[in-house]
Chains A and B, each alone.
Chain A
Amino acid sequence: MYLTKDSIEPARFVSAKTAPHCGGVDVFFGVIRDYNEGKSVKELFYDCYEPMAEKEIAKVIERAKSETGVHEIRVLHRIGRLRVGEVAVAIMASGAHRQEAFAACRQVIDEIKQDVPIWKKEVYEDSTHDWVVCRHQH
């Protein structure tokens, strides 16, 4: 299961042991920021087509493992209502060397943002809201 409605705790996420032949471990956390495009963000809501998102994240992981050669990739994506400062997505890639771990982590977050059916609604301090359409490679 790659989706969770519960808080993602960074220390717990990275606590699992990696394989002894993995010398490079790269971790990425996506965290809720308090502003976007000039507006003050109060909270976010992640909508999700859960059964398809689980399948698509599994495909993203398998593709990244195959293309980079890393040994293992872990992904946890939060859905539902999140506050500023909370972790929205956590990714850990472990491989023999750092280059493939960095590459796998980046590929996974880029493809999640491109292909996994999850949608982000920002709720602003003035109580207006917008569904986010990612136009940038941030």
Chain B
Amino acid sequence: MQIKVLYFAQLRDLFGISETTLRMDDGISVGQALDEIIKGHEDAVDWASVRFAVNEEFSHKSLILRDQDTLVLLPPVSGG
């Protein structure tokens, strides 16, 4: 399956891109996708502080992704 991944703020700076499309095995969770995405950047960010959204809704790591989902990695927000 294919998923779209969007990056914002410091994560856009870290990865050097705003978005990418990734091929993943069917049935993987958000947490498993994250493990793939952050390879090589494990120590660059406090990943425990990063939240996730799937298709514009907050999501947990255990959520199973589906084909064409949009996954967003959300560093700690700072609006206002």
Binding site for B on A (CB under 8 A): 30, 46-49, 51-53, 55, 77, 88-89, 109, 112-121, 131-134
Query: Taking the nearest CB of chain B, how far is it from the CB of A76, in angstroms?
Result: 12
Known A52-B56, A55-B56: A118·B77 in contact at CB below 8 Å: yes
Jot down 27 A-B pairs with beta carbons below 8 A, ordered by A.
A47-B8, A47-B9, A47-B12, A48-B8, A49-B6, A49-B74, A51-B56, A52-B53, A53-B79, A55-B56, A77-B79, A109-B80, A112-B80, A113-B79, A113-B80, A116-B79, A117-B72, A117-B74, A117-B77, A117-B79, A118-B78, A119-B8, A119-B77, A132-B78, A133-B76, A133-B78, A134-B78
B21 at the interface (CB under 8 A from A): no
SS class, residues of chain A in contact with chain B: mixed
Query: Which residue of chain B lies nearest to A133 when distances are taken between CB atoms in the complex?
Result: B76
Contact across chains for A114 and B10 when beta carbons are under 8 A apart: no
- B-side contacts of A89, CB under 8 Å: 79-80
- The listed residue with most B CB atoms (<10 A of its CB), out of A46, A52, A115, A116, is A52
Query: Taking the nearest CB of chain A, how far is it from the CB of B35, in angstroms?
Result: 22
Interface residues on B, range: 10 to 19
Contact across chains for A119 and B56 when beta carbons are under 8 A apart: no
Query: Which residue of chain B lies nearest to A28 when distances are taken between CB atoms in the complex?
Result: B80
Known A51-B56, A52-B53, A117-B74: A131·B79 in contact at CB below 8 Å: no
- The listed residue with most B CB atoms (<10 A of its CB), out of A49, A51, A53, is A49
